[in-house]
Structure 1
């Protein structure tokens, strides 16, 4: 199932929808036609667990082709918000999680050339999230080294505290796409949150694809283009620490809760690792894609003086 948060006008509230057959089907309105009370938001749906998803799938099949007016709109008429516009907690970022990215970072940034022995975990505030189509902010007074990082995002479906690796995948609700935007010249004594956590530094979306639709999340091609020119291409099979390992590691000390997001790391090809180095500037358009999930497009715009 491909789930979105959308709205029809700039003034309207975000609504939970399913993308199906070129349409966005409103989940609450779908429930009203079948006598089922469905949740109004993505977080509410995740909270209700697998039974809610199963009921939603049944309602979708029962009403396919015979929906009442007003339940669905063409995809092109809907404005997509971030799938979870305001998560409950910061996004968990994973650094240095592809071998070739470890090597390029060691050449150009102050990171070790040795492979991490445990996941490198950092944080992006919820205020950094923007949707597909929304602008990445470039403030020249803050950074001259604004960089890109395409990543597979994992959305947690049920609480995970000290979870074993072999049980971890049962805690996954679904997957999405994140651009882990990074101001390389804003790192502070090895701390990354200011570099990676500024407003607009977490493009996220355009949808969450439920876990049942992705049979093997460790064999997904991911890529990034700047102004149509490909800069990154790899596959999640090259993750240094796979998804179960990340869930087990984080949950060993920090409980993961429904709706929490893990950005699993980026492959080689970031601007800092190129020769010569490349950065994002106002006027650029960045496209991030993960096969089977979707494409996230964001322009870069100037802010400040």
Structure 2
């Protein structure tokens, strides 16, 4: 299934994208696409529905973040071998983890806001997943079963804030609009192997990232199992898993985003995003 949320910010309704590309309203069956809707039992109930019986949404308009009420937004860094190489880093012996603020989450086509004082605004196309069952000290098989679905995440980053302003990476990772997710949440059964997905990103029509999850070092089930040794995970928590080569920082010379730039990105089976960079007000 492809689950989504549509409508103005704060007024989104739950929906489903049918096989013909029509948005179908799910508000008669779930209150929202959030942790409560992502348990195996609820997902099985939604799968049993005939999409043709659901109200068609002729003009869904804006797509919101594909998951609402996210409790934790965990990120994994340097998790693609080609990206580690382009940044001059070695692949870590254990996953590198950091957090984005949940206030960074926005819709897949909402503007990216360039923060005040930003000089090195960068892009990263990433595969993300959402937890559907409680997880704590899980082995890899248990973790795999707890993944409800996958989606595209744009891990927008401000490199000067991240690397030159002291302290943890979160300064350059958690700004408002730095976490577009969607357009859809694709359930794990429909995605199949998450380690075999093509992924790409373009800025103003020029392709900078053209990679695959095949170069991911630590795969999603392992990451959830590993991270569950340090914190419990609840339904609706998300983890984004790193980016392949081609970020702005890795260009020679480096290239960064500015107001008016248009970023388009996507992952095989998971859809595409499109954002325009706007100034902070």
Pick from 107, 111, 115: which aligns with 1:135?
111
The match for 2:277 is 300
The match for 2:14 is 16
1:153 Cα deviation after fit: 0.6
Give the helix-richer structure, 1 or 2. Answer: 1
Is 2:150 the counterpart of 1:175? yes
- Partners of 1:256 and 1:182 lie apart in 2 by 24
Structure 1: any 5+ residue segments left out of the alignment?
A: 30-37, 107-112
- Partners of 1:46 and 1:158 lie apart in 2 by 11
Pick from 133, 142, 167: which aligns with 1:158?
133
Q: 1:11 to 1:222 in 2, by over 3 A?
A: closer
* 1:54-133 superposed matches below 5 A: 54-60=44-50, 64=52, 67=53, 71-74=55-58, 76-89=59-72, 91-106=73-88, 113-133=89-109
Instruction: Name the TM-score, length of structure 2 as normaliser.
Output: 0.94
Greater radius of gyration (CA):
1
Q: Is the 1:82–1:204 Cα contact (8 Å) retained in structure 2?
A: yes
Q: Is the 1:225–1:288 Cα contact (8 Å) retained in structure 2?
A: yes
4+ residue runs of structure 1 moved beyond 6 angstroms? Answer: none
- SS of alignment partner, residue 4 of structure 2: strand
Instruction: Name the TM-score, length of structure 1 as normaliser.
Output: 0.87
- Partners of 2:32 and 2:134 lie apart in 1 by 18
1:228 Cα deviation after fit: 1.3
Q: Is the 1:24–1:78 Cα contact (8 Å) retained in structure 2?
A: no
Is 2:32 the counterpart of 1:41? yes
Pick from 260, 271, 275: which aligns with 2:252?
275
1:54 Cα deviation after fit: 2.0
Query: What do residues 155-198 of structure 1 show as CA deviations (whole Å, max 9, x unaligned)?
Result: 11111101112332101000001111110000233510011111
- Partners of 1:190 and 1:221 lie apart in 2 by 34
The CA RMSD measured in Å over matched residues stands at: 1.7
Instruction: Give aligned pairs, total.
Output: 278
- Partners of 1:263 and 1:16 lie apart in 2 by 22
Structure 2: any 5+ residue segments left out of the alignment?
A: none
Name whichever of 175-184 and 19-28 sits farther off.
Answer: 19-28
Is 2:268 the counterpart of 1:285? no
